[in-house]
Structure 1
Amino acid sequence: MKRKSFRYLWIGQALANSGDLFYIVGLMAIIYGITGSAMLMAMIPFVTTMARFISGSFAPVLMDKYSLKSLLASSQIGKTAVLFLLLMTYYVLGEQEVTVYAILGFVFLISLLDGWAAPASHAMLPRLVDAAELTKANSFVALVDQLIQLGGWAVGGLLVVAMGGSNVIWLTFALALAAAVFMKMIEDRHESTQEQKEKARVSNWRSIQEGWTLIWKQPSLRAIHVIYVLETMAGVIWIAATIYVYVADVLHREEAWWGYINASFFLGLMLGGLFGMRNAGLIDRNIRKFVICSSFGISLMTFGFGLTSVSWLALVFSAGFGVFEQIKAVSLQTTLQRGVSVHLLPKVYAAQSALVSLVFGLSTLLFGFITDEFGVRATYIIAATVLFISGCYALRIRTRLPELGEGLEQGRIGIEK
């Protein structure tokens, strides 16, 4: 974890994530200022999800032609160019409705760039740290990300008030440029000229298929991704719209409690990341148990959150969900990184990104319908049931989840053909 390249990766990613958060806050302020429409504001996450699904699907083609470092750096450079065009368009068109649709178009382009950057970043991490430090490294990166998420929305809001939405976009422009510099400084010891020549010979269709095929044919990877799908389906209950309804209809509290619940959730995620850093060895030795126990813990927290009408208990359940969620995410992430060769891992992450984006988008519509038709309590009870099924599935297929030694051995997957 003391290697310079790992430091460049997490610093660059932190700058990029901060910029992404600030630009979303800035754009929402601009769109709301022009239209006053909450629905058009909500189009931003929808457009983002769909663009990342498309980009994630085709990311393997780029991964077979360019190095991960080049993809990470080019993604940030591309974002600076798109952000510059966005700002110029805003200044030219002014505050009229057509500007909003132009902004959504630029959001789509930026999200396309993010669609290959995210899997490339996840796949880069195990190339930069020793296998024995993966759990600790994943926990550290998750902790940094949650710190940004916890404070970023508040800081972004203050910046919008102090600077205005368009100036916050300029700040994002600078952060993306700085992130690109850090990404270019990474030294990937696994990337070679010969490997690039081999990549160039692979057909585009085979590139797209490779990650999906590996996930489907390898029992351990298939098991992990079934858990990911179930968790993603239930995870949409934490989007802003659902929490907003929960606060109003169940807790009967003012809007500020939406912020309190989100803060407690991210605090839980941070505590889970801190636990992972301090107890990496314990997790490594008992990774199956942590996946199973955290799966049932998430279900229990969700069930309690949905049933309670006591405000402070809702905060406790929200934080508890965050703790279990982070421990489970780190455990699955480490298992996946140890189970696939570093050369095929980018393809697996690209397929995973596309799969999760699609499931999240569809689940948002499904649970939105359930909330409208049956009430927000039903939404949380159904989500808790889905998470309980995920826990039962993890218990049933526990032998497919490799422990530390087995995971390192399975790192050969995809090398010998």
Structure 2
Amino acid sequence: MKNKSFRFLWLGQSIAGGGDVFYIIGLITLLYLYTGSAVLIAAVPFTVTIGHFISGFLAPILIDKYPLKTLLVISQSGKTGILFMLALFNEFTGQSGPVYLIFIFVFVISFLDGWAAPAVSAMLPRLVPSEELVKANSLVSVLDQSVQLGGWAIGGILAASIGGSNVIWVTFGLFVISSVLMMQIREQHSAANHSRAPKTKWYSLKEGWVFIWKNPTLKTLSIIAFIESIAFVVWIAAIIYIYVKEQLQMEEEWWGYINASFFLGLILGGFIGLKASAFIRGKLSSIIMAAGFGLSLCTILFGFTTIPMLALFLAFAFGVKEQLKSIAMQTLLQSNASADQLPKVYAAQGAMLSLTFGVASLLFGYLTEQTSVQIVFAVSALLLLGSAVFAFRRRLDLRLKTKVDNE
């Protein structure tokens, strides 16, 4: 945890995460100002998802060619350059510019961002001792969720006070700082994967999937993550907005209150991970199972309650349980794959979960329109219950490896 490179990693990633939030807020503000189209605004997260999926699918080819630090620097520097072009495009063309070019910029930024996530997650075990992985994952999670919680609030204030164009210029400044910090990282295992015989592109693409399929722990964790990526769709903004209006029958500000409660729960869960890292490390499988059942219970109660304050508490409790479970799953995954395997595993998982979440968002949105928000939360609760039961049945696979074979 005292490693300077780890500090540069989490600080650079936190600044980049804040920039990502500001950039989306600024972009949505401009699109609404220029077009007034809800469809175009909704197309922004969809474009981001597609960019992440394609990038995650192709990431293993790049991982075999370049060290993780190089990928991080290329990713963040590339995003900075493209954002600068987007800012200039907006300054010189404004409302008269073709909207489709904005979405091309969005896609390219998302594509560049797609291989950063697996690189960051895979780099953590290389920068901190194995016994401090729980603490490192907790710290990164707390920072990420704090940035998300504060970023949307601060970004909204900035957009209202200085305008969407200037928010994008602020994001450019944050991206520049993040790129500089990423360049300071010193990766000890950077050459481990580049001294071997060259691999075909097809072999590189399928390698992460093969690792997952052959390793019982990785397979179990990936199945759990797959089921939960579908179930967690109920927490997207569109469904929570409908829930607030139809189920709680409250005004729009309660949409913000629920989101804030959820993120505060995530942050508290991260702090618990920091303070009780040794205990959590010895109870990883139990935490995954217990949190899974707790998430299912919170979801069904949240979906059917009509009491606003109870909904806030349940959203908060859901966040705490989800964060603890996420930390446990991250630590298990990082401890059950070698330094060479981890980037491929994260890339494969990232591609799978991006596509799954995108498709599930459309399906759950349609289901909400055709039935009711209560039915959607009931389906989510059943999926989470199924995930918890699956974890219990495969509990012997959810074991911590204290020593990883790095051959």
- TM superposition score normalised by structure 2: 0.98
Q: In 2, distance between residues paired with 1:334 and 1:46?
A: 30
Aligned residue for 1:224?
221
Q: Does the aligned pair in 2 maintain the 1:89–1:99 contact within 8 Å?
A: no
**Matched ranges for 1:102-141 at <5 A:** 102-141=101-140
1:214 and 2:216 matched: no
Paired residues of 1:90 and 1:99 also in contact (CA < 8 A): no
* Cα deviation digits, residues 156-204 of structure 1 (max 9, x gap): 0111122211111111111111111111101111123x642326x1111
Corresponding position: 1:392 with 2:381: no
How do 1:100-249 and structure 2 match up within 5 A? 100-192=99-191, 195-198=193-196, 201-249=198-246
Moved over 4 A (4+): none
1:302 equivalenced with 2:302 (yes/no): no
Name the residue aligned to 2:79. Answer: 79
Report the alpha carbon displacement of residue 93 of structure 1 after superposing the two structures with TM.
2.4
Q: Distance in 2 between matches of 1:280 and 1:408?
A: 15
Which whole-Å CA distance do the structure 1 matches of 2:195 and 2:314 have between them?
52
Question: Whole-Å Cα distance in 2 between the matches of residues 84 and 183 of structure 1?
Answer: 19
1:100 shift after superposition:
2.6
**Partner residue, 1:408:** 402
Between the aligned partners of 2:88 and 2:148, the Cα distance in structure 1 is 28
Count residues in correspondence: 407
Q: RMSD value over aligned CA atoms?
A: 1.1
Match in the other structure for 1:22: 22
- The aligned residue for residue 338 of structure 1 is 335
- In structure 2, what is the Cα distance between the partners aligned to 1:159 and 1:99? 25
Q: Report the secondary structure of 1:198's partner residue.
A: coil
CA distance in 1, matches of 2:276, 2:35: 49
- Deviation string 1:95-123 (CA, Å, 9 cap, x unpaired) is 14x53321111000000001011110111
Matched residue type, 2:274: M
CA distance in 1 between partners of 2:99 and 2:382 (Å):
39
Q: Distance in 2 between matches of 1:3 and 1:58?
A: 30
Does 2:93 match 1:99?
A: no
Residue-by-residue CA offset, 1:380-411 (whole Å, 9 max, x unaligned): 010000000000000000000013xxx124x2
Q: Is the CA contact 2:69–2:190 (under 8 Å) kept in the aligned structure 1?
A: no
Equivalent residue of 1:196, what SS?
coil
SS at match of 2:95: coil
Counterparts of 2:136 and 2:272, CA distance in 1 = 12
Aligned partners of 2:71, 2:176: CA distance in 1, in Å? 14
For structure 2, which runs of at least 5 residues remain unmatched after alignment?
A: none
Conserved 8 A contact 1:119-1:349: yes
Residues 64, 193 of structure 2: 8 Å contact kept = no
Q: What's the CA shift for 1:86?
A: 0.9
| Counterpart secondary structure, 1:340 | coil
Gapped runs of 5+ residues in structure 1? none
Q: Give the superposition deviation at 1:35.
A: 1.2
- Given that 1:72 and 1:183 are in contact with CA atoms closer than 8 Å, whether structure 2 keeps it comes out as yes
1:61 & 1:178 partners in 2: Cα distance? 28
Secondary structure of the equivalent of 2:56?
Answer: helix
**In the alignment, is residue 358 of structure 1 matched against residue 352 of structure 2?**
no
1:269 matched residue in structure 2: 266
Offset at residue 52 of structure 1 (A)? 0.4
Does the residue aligned with 2:338 lie in a helix, a strand or coil? Answer: coil
Structure 2 counterpart of 1:286: 283
Taking only the aligned residue pairs, the percentage that are identical comes to: 49
In structure 1, distance between residues paired with 2:57 and 2:275: 36
Q: CA deviation at 1:21?
A: 0.3
TM-score (norm 1): 0.96
Aligned-partner Cα distance in 1 for 2:40–2:77:
27
1:230 touches 1:386 (CA, 8 Å); kept in 2? yes
Deviation, 1:28, is 0.4
SS at match of 1:64: helix
Q: Is the 8 A contact 1:51 1:108 kept in 2?
A: yes
Residue type of the alignment partner of 1:408 = T
Q: Is the 8 A contact 2:52 2:351 kept in 1?
A: yes
Cα separation, 2, equivalents of 1:24 and 1:362: 21
Q: Aligned AA for 1:196?
A: H
- Structure 1 position 94, deviation (Å): 2.0
Q: Name the counterpart of 1:9.
A: 9
- Contact persistence 2:80–2:172 (CA under 8 A): yes
Q: Which residue of structure 1 lines up, in the alignment, with residue 250 of structure 2?
A: 253
Contact 1:86 / 1:103 at 8 angstroms: preserved in 2?
yes
Contact 1:3–1:128, Cα closer than 8 Å, also in 2: yes
